[in-house]
Amino acid sequence: MRLAIASDHGAVALKEMLVPWLRENHEVVDLGTHGPASVDYPDYGYRLARAIAAGEADRGIVLCGSGIGISIAVNRNPACRCALVSEPLSAALAREHNDANVIALGARLIGEEMARACITRFLTTDFAGGRHQARVAKLASPDTAKESA
């Protein structure tokens, strides 16, 4: 599986721990940042989203201090379904029910072992399809959503 990974300065240390581990079994494109100098998380979220949309990676992992800001940036791209997760069950459900192709992790909120556990579930869980397929299709086409009664 081809993976893209990106982080801001608040998560670069976690990213640098994860990349060698990921490369043991996957092709990994590290989209930065590569040092502790302050950067803007949207730039790295957008960079990863473009890589997913262009087919340069099958799935993506984004990290920032909380995971919130960078996940918002990724989700601006309609080709991306990014879920902020903090434990393995959420990572699995993001894949199984939402066909998430990107996960976001908060480096200031979880440690390396929990990050690995989340990523493992994200990479090993299949999309269930079925009743979830139509809902996932609506995520890329908000105009198709029905008005609430």
11's CB contacts (< 8 A; 6+ apart) are: 63, 64, 65, 105, 106, 107, 108
Of the listed 9, 34, 80, 97, which one is catalytic? 97
Of the listed 64, 80, 82, 118, which one is catalytic? 64
64 is a catalytic site residue: yes
17's CB contacts (< 8 A; 6+ apart) are: 112
Q: Which residue has the tokens 């009743």?
A: 131
How many other CB atoms are found less than 10 A from the CB of residue 22? 19
Chain centroid offset of residue 45 CA: 9
82 is a catalytic site residue: no
Q: How far is CA 19 from CA 87, 116, 121, 141, 143, in A?
A: 19, 11, 16, 33, 38
Active site residues: 64, 97
